[in-house]
Structures are given as C-alpha cells and as structure tokens.
Amino acid sequence: MKAIFRLLTLAVLMSIPLAGHAESEEFNPGSMIIGHVTDAHSWHLFDYADKEGNEHAVAIPLPVILINDGHLDIFMSSRFHHGHADYHGYRLVGGGADKEEVVCVDENGQLTGKKPVDISITKTSAAIIIATILLLIIVFIARAGYKKRPNQAPHGLQSLVEMLVVFVRDSIAKPMIGEDKYAKYLPYLLTLFFFIFFCNILGLIPIFPAGANITGCIAVTAILAVITFFITNISGNRHYWTDIFNTPGVPAWLKVFPLMPVVELVGVFTKPIVLMIRLFANMTAGHIVILGFVTIIFIMSNVFGMGVGAGVSVVSVLFSVFISLLECLVAYIQAFVFTMLSALYIGMAVSEPQHEH
C-alpha cells in the first residue's frame, strides 16, 4: 500500500506543471507531451500564476556553450528568459512539438539564417552527469561496506548491488560470452546494465534531480549502441569475420554473387541500430502514455468543466499508476535486454568454431 501511495503522489506531482495550462483555451496537449520528453536548454520545474493571472515558469538554468565564427560564447540559459528575450545576438526558438535550438539574430532582432555550433549542457546532459554521480556514490557505498565488513554477508545497499552484479555475471556474461572469456567484458556489461537501469528508474521520478528522459534520447542510446558495435567488431576473431565474408554451408554461387556476404555485412550494422531504437522507443513510449493519461484531466476540464475533470482524474491517475508500475518493470527489462544482446553480439564475435571429434 505504501508503494501505491507513493506512486499516486508521483502521478499527481506530474500534473503540477500542467495545472497552469488548464485554464488556457490554447492548451496544446501534443506540444506539452513532446516538450516533456525531449531535450531542453533549461530544467523546467513548474509554472505558477501571479495575482494578475500571468503565468511564470520556474526552471533551473543550464550553461549555454556556443561556437560562432570561431568565437566561444558561454552564458546561462536564464539570459533567454524562457525564449522571450535575445542575448548577444542569439535567440532560443522552438520548444514543445518543435525542436528547441539557438539561432543567430541581427541588431534589429531579425533572423540571420545562421546557427552556431551548440555544445551546451542541456537537460539530458545534466541528467547524465547527475545519474553518473549518484551511481558512483551507490557503488562506493557498497564498496566501503565490503571493506568495513570483510568476509561477511552483504548488508543494506550491498545486497542490492551484489545481487545485480551476480545476476549480470551468471545470467548474462557467462552464458553469452563463455566461461573462459566473459571476465574481460564483464566490467563493460556491468556498467551498461547499471547505467541504463538507473537512468530508466530516474526517468520515472518526476522530481528534480530526476525526471529527465535520458534513455528516451536517441543520441544517448545511439552512443551506447556504437560502443557495443566497436567492442564487438574490434574483438571479432578470424572465425567471426570468416563467417561474414565466407559463410559456411551456403551455396558457392551465393558467395560469388555476392549475396550472403552483403547480407551478413548489413547485419553487422543493423544490430546496433536495433539496440538503439528498441531502448529509445520503449522508454519514450512509456513516458508519453503516462503524460497522455494526465493530460486527459485538463482536456476534459476545458471542454466539460472542472467537475467532469475531477471525475476523470480518478480514472486517469489510476491508469497512470498502473502504467508507472509497468514502466518500473520495463525499466529493468530494457536494461537486461540491451545488456544481454550486447553480450550476445560480443559472444558471437569471440566464439571459436566447434569441431566434431
């Protein structure tokens, strides 16, 4: 019951940023939902209305780092006043359903058509840094526990960390790579599993410093997939590359054509693409569904009045809680699947041919 109560609280908290839009006739649910799952140059917390009824956004500014004509410009995103002001010839445009980006403007405020090279620390970048720091703290706390209590059963946080480490080792690394070769790749697989799982869980908590859709950013999943791609192909032995360009058991005319080598070579590149898209799509879809249920409350309030909106909120919150529980499971499953497939690809690359005696 305590867990359900906490999830209900989280679901209600998720609706706080939307409350300021409930009375607006121009409320765009699609733009709002996409705006919550995409990247931004500031970390939006909530909106509030002053005595005059004007809405104000409360957000944590992030560093904006731009390279324009060889010049490096660094300032905080608060200089843009949430996209309502220009600063030093730059303007923040987009947001919502449109991609948020920085463009160049002239002295009269007219767009010049130029875009600086943007290497800013965005919401996703900041969330990755926060997630990494928190994950390191957890690991070092578990490590300190082993030093204080050597040769004793794990206790507290140690139990969780050890359980997951043993799971990745015995259920993923050893079966997929092999008893004699798994140790070399175990550190990477553990890092992969813990990072994805921790980022997925943080993405389900709508309170700062959590709430960022890290694994729902395709750039993040692409980098993880690229790392797996390079480790797999650099580790590939002679047998691995022979199977690609001279597949055994295939008719000779398919090798000469060469149909099978092309198919196998394409498969080398499609494997990381599948990893990238699967993680990105599953985590983004879950966030969109939850936000969709919460948004229904305010849509119904606008159309039929606050009474109907209050009645619909009960159903919407219950469905949001159900999807949140499902997302907790999906957060673990996606971390497991990504790590397992990475281990499988590495195992296929380093495996030796089986000889019949």
Question: What DSSP string runs through 166-191?
Answer: HHHIIIIIHHHH-TTTHHHHHHHHHH
Same domain, 297 and 279: yes
- pLDDT of 173-215, one tens digit each? 999 998 888 999 999 999 999 999 999 998 888 788 888 889 9
Instruction: Determine, yes or no, domain membership for 22.
Output: no
Same domain, 220 and 104: no
- pLDDT of 261-278, one tens digit each? 787 788 889 999 999 999
SS3 261: helix
Q: How far apart are CA 18 and CA 47, in angstroms?
A: 8
Domain's final residue, options 100, 120, 140: 120
The pLDDT, as a whole number, for residue 47 is 74
Instruction: Determine, yes or no, domain membership for 158.
Output: yes
In the chain, the number of structural domains is 2
The pLDDT, as a whole number, for residue 93 is 87
Same domain, 294 and 202: yes
SS3 117: strand
Instruction: Determine, yes or no, domain membership for 214.
Output: yes
Instruction: Determine, yes or no, domain membership for 2.
Output: no
Q: How far apart are CA 199 and CA 221, in angstroms?
A: 11
Same domain, 82 and 132: no
Instruction: Determine, yes or no, domain membership for 83.
Output: yes
Instruction: Determine, yes or no, domain membership for 356.
Output: no
Distant-in-sequence contacts of 291-294, Cβ < 8 A, 24+ apart:
291/14, 291/32, 291/33, 291/36, 291/37, 292/29, 292/33, 293/317, 293/319, 293/320, 293/323, 294/11, 294/14, 294/15, 294/18, 294/320
Same domain, 112 and 257: no
The pLDDT, as a whole number, for residue 257 is 66
The pLDDT, as a whole number, for residue 311 is 80
Same domain, 337 and 239: yes
Same domain, 278 and 325: yes
Report the predicted TM-score, pTM, of the whole model to 2 decimal places: 0.83
How wide is the angle at C-alpha 213 spanned by C-alphas 39 and 210, nearest 5°? 110
Same domain, 325 and 182: yes
User: Residue 116 belongs to what domain range?
Assistant: 63-120
Task: Note the maximum CA span of the chain.
Answer: 86
Residue 250 phi, psi (nearest 5): -105, 135
Instruction: Determine, yes or no, domain membership for 137.
Output: yes
Same domain, 264 and 344: yes
How wide is the angle at C-alpha 210 spanned by C-alphas 208 and 211, nearest 5°? 95
Same domain, 91 and 208: no
The pLDDT, as a whole number, for residue 355 is 52
Look at the alpha carbons of 74, 79, 80, 81 in this order and tell me if their dihedral is positive or negative: positive
Same domain, 110 and 134: no
Residue 334: count of CB within 10 angstroms of its CB: 23
Domain's final residue, options 104, 120, 136: 120
Q: Mark the ranges of the chain whose per-residue pLDDT is less than 50.
A: 1-5, 7-25, 356-357
Residue 7: count of CB within 10 angstroms of its CB: 19
SS3 36: helix
Calculate helix-pair angle for 306-350, 259-304, nearest 10 degrees.
Answer: 170
Q: Are 212 and 124 in contact (CB under 8 A)?
A: yes
Domain's final residue, options 102, 120, 138: 120
Same domain, 175 and 310: yes
Q: How far apart are CA 310 and CA 316, in angstroms?
A: 10
**Residues 6 or more apart in contact with residue 70 via CB below 8 angstroms:** none
Instruction: Determine, yes or no, domain membership for 319.
Output: yes
